[in-house]
Chains A and B, each alone.
Chain A
Amino acid sequence: MSAVDQILEGKDICICAGSGGVGKTTTSAAIATGMAARGLRVCVLTIDPAKRLADSLGLPELGNEAKRVDPGLFEAHGIEMKGELWAMMLDAKATFDELVARQAPDEESRDRVLDNRIYQQISNALAGSQEYMAMEKLFELHTEGRFDLLVLDTPPTRNALDFLDAPRRLTQFIEGRSLRVFMRPTGLAARVAGRGATVALGVLKRIVGFDLLADLAEFFNAFSGMVDGFQARAKRVNKLLADSHTCFLVVCGPQGEPIDEAVYFHRKLVEAKLPFGGVIVNKVHYPAERLRGDGADLEAALAEKLGDEDLVRRVADNFADYQALAERDARNIEHLAAELRAKGVIRVPYLDEDVHDLGGLAEINRYLFASSEERIEIAAGRA
């Protein structure tokens, strides 16, 4: 089993993916910090508006421009920083606006989209737009070539597929092919819609209202000159995601549900022929030494040391609870490892201290950047 720096050797993009609440933002920040400390010029991108990344890097705030993290901060936390760490928070709306400006054939077409009421309402909320804009920004930064490595903290999605599917869904949406039926309910479009399309359209207008249909038509018309540009761009973005210099890391927790999701995500990545690097399992309860020690022996030994009977029982109960969680985690990770065959599973223990600053990131990196043997050793030596 390899460490993160081995997995990322020769890669210039690292995409951290996984469901919400598994420590994806923290892991992305830790990986970026670790790789920068090893001498690379790294930029970590997040789309999460909750300021999590800014908080963990000790930055007051992050904007749509990359910002360098003060090298002095690392020293204070005992991290030797050989490279540079940059961070940015993606503004999906601003990125979408930039993209429209780039794709528009002229100013008039650009303003027609940017000023469109429906565009203003949805450009931030449209399904897949956040995910796609994250990839778009990644593509742009990669093309600029300012950084050795880009680490992307993907937005929390309900489903792993939402992320991978985003370019297709967004371009299909902008294409607005489905809506052409409403505009010209005759000829080919009508045949696509099925028999009686004209009558059906009449019925639909009654339910939905004519104005909404007309406004939607105007919205899609505003995009009409950009469809090819969007499609070509999405193709290039998809190509970059599948490139051998890109690496997907799946982040998850040790409970049954997150593990199942990681297994599912891995399958989908393999199916989509995307470069999979490994799985990072956060907050793992490591098995204690001599896990199956006899309960009675333990209580006797504790009684000898502590005297207090009530305290002995509480220590023993607490230990049994902890062991049960450790056994569960071990079972779940075994299942995950079997699914991934030889590929990497990196376990990060449930640390006593809640991780939310550079010091915490350094602590996580002791595990992320260690070989599996070293990892077990560090975990065993932990308080």
Chain B
Amino acid sequence: MTARFSCRSSKLLGITPIPDFLDKRLVFVTGKGGVGKTTVAVALGLRAAEAGKRTIVCEVSSQENASRIFDHTEVGFHEVEMAENLWSISIDPDESMREYVLLQLKVRAMRDLLFRSRIFSYLAAATPGLKELVTIGKIWELAQLDRKVKQGRKYDLVIVDAPATGHGIGFLQTPRTFAAIARVGPIHSQAQQLDRLITDHKHTGTAIVALPEEMPVNETAALEHELRSEVGVAVDRVYLNGLYPERFTKEEAAQLAEVAGGENGVLRAAARAAASEHGRARSQRAQLARLRRRVEAPVKTLPFLFEPELGVEAAQQLARRLH
């Protein structure tokens, strides 16, 4: 009875069930540069939030792209509410490091001593990968139901707008690399704990964002392979972003080609624009088919939005189309 009711009510709201992997606790959104990772991460966040999940979208490159989408001033290292049930944070490694030390040292005098001396910032500068490690540590902390930070808000879902491919794999591998650098000791065991979180298929997942072009499709296939076999994470979804609509049939395209050779300038331009949309839509469909053949994860498409700049409305439009 209850199930039927909730099903009906979601239909009334015009919402199809949310993508299954949003039931995990932690989702990394990755892909090569310029494919729309941030927009997709925010759209996933909006979708989960709308479904009643308390969600936070984390940025790790201090670029504040998410707050840009919301037309918000920079959020910085704070959990800022962007919409109902949706928060955003830009994870700064230095702040994360500071917070980490605060959590490790319960005695106030000791903390003060450590912060007063510059020794900790020297360690950070000298230890390769430590900044990435504490960034992932902060993501872990956000994903805890029992938050370490005083009065920390509980989140059902943490979405990470991960660094672009190249940096992306390295980023997710940081805990393992670090566990090898620090053979024993507290950092070693914490790094191992983080690696276990990242590779926990039940609670952690990834979504790859791709574009419908030859080389991005090749790179997505390679990325999925590396994520699965080298990093060992679950790849739950591949989103093919920026798919053109199929506005014209082949016959219509042929008809328009005749007009494109005509004398009337505007008419000619409009017919050419139609021809190029038709051509692009077709080649994109071919790339979509290639992508489906080459990756294991389910491939879902997201439409190209004919908007000059992608803001929160665009993210909402995409959120409705996510499946």
Are A and B co-members of a single complex? yes
Partner of B128, one of A122, A288, A290: A122
Partner of B117, one of A158, A196, A314: A196
Within the complex, what minimum Cβ distance (angstroms) separates A376 from chain B? 14
Provide the residues of chain A in CB contact with B248, threshold 8 Å: 311, 314-315
Q: Is B127 an interface residue (CB 8 A)?
A: yes
B117 touches A55 (CB 8 A): no
User: What residue in chain A is nearest B165 (Cβ atoms)?
Assistant: A50
Q: Is B44 an interface residue (CB 8 A)?
A: no
Partner of B308, one of A22, A48, A197, A325: A325
Per-residue A-contact encoding for B39-77, CB less than 8 Å = 1, 0 else = 000000000000000000000010101001000000000
Provide the residues of chain A in CB contact with B113, threshold 8 Å: 196, 199-200, 203
User: What residue in chain B is nearest A356 (Cβ atoms)?
Assistant: B214
Contact (A298, B166) CB under 8 Å given A179-B126, A353-B283: no
Per-residue A-contact encoding for B128-169, CB less than 8 Å = 1, 0 else = 110100000000000000000000000000000001111100
Within the complex, what minimum Cβ distance (angstroms) separates A284 from chain B? 13
Within the complex, what minimum Cβ distance (angstroms) separates A74 from chain B? 20
Provide the residues of chain B in CB contact with A321, threshold 8 Å: 306
B218 touches A207 (CB 8 A): no
Q: Is B7 an interface residue (CB 8 A)?
A: no
Q: Is B319 an interface residue (CB 8 A)?
A: no
Provide the residues of chain B in CB contact with A216, threshold 8 Å: 126-127
Interface of A is mostly: helix
Provide the residues of chain A in CB contact with B262, threshold 8 Å: 305
Contact (A207, B181) CB under 8 Å given A21-B32, A158-B61, A194-B117: no
Q: Is A144 an interface residue (CB 8 A)?
A: no
Bound Cα distance from A324 to B307, whole angstroms: 8
B272 touches A383 (CB 8 A): yes
Provide the residues of chain A in CB contact with B35, threshold 8 Å: 21
A181 touches B128 (CB 8 A): no
Bound Cα distance from A319 to B248, whole angstroms: 13
Partner of B277, one of A200, A204, A318, A354: A318
Provide the residues of chain B in CB contact with A179, threshold 8 Å: 122, 126
B contacts with A, residue count (CB < 8 A): 79
Within the complex, what minimum Cβ distance (angstroms) separates B57 from chain A? 17
Size class of the contact patch on chain A: 35 or more
B180 touches A121 (CB 8 A): yes
Q: Is A316 an interface residue (CB 8 A)?
A: yes
Within the complex, what minimum Cβ distance (angstroms) separates B179 from chain A? 10
A208 touches B63 (CB 8 A): no
For chain B, residues 185 to 232, give those with C-beta under 8 angstroms from any C-beta of chain A. Answer: 185-188, 213-215, 218-219, 222
A residues bordering B, Cβ < 8 Å? 19-22, 48-52, 55-56, 117-118, 121-122, 125-127, 155-156, 158-159, 173, 176, 178-179, 181-182, 192-197, 199-201, 203-204, 207-212, 215-216, 220, 253, 255-258, 288-290, 293, 297-298, 301-302, 305-306, 311, 314-319, 321-322, 324-325, 327-328, 352-354, 356, 382-383
Which 5 pairs from chain A and chain B are nearest by CB? A21-B34, A20-B33, A209-B185, A288-B269, A21-B33
Q: A196-B116, A200-B120, A289-B269 are in contact. List 8 more A-B contacts (CB 8 A).
A: A20-B33, A21-B33, A56-B215, A156-B32, A200-B116, A209-B182, A212-B188, A328-B309
B residues bordering A, Cβ < 8 Å? 32-35, 61, 63, 65, 68, 101, 104-105, 110, 113-114, 116-120, 122-123, 125-129, 131, 163-167, 170, 173, 177, 180-188, 213-215, 218-219, 222, 247-248, 252, 255-256, 259-260, 262, 264-277, 279-280, 283, 287, 306, 308-309
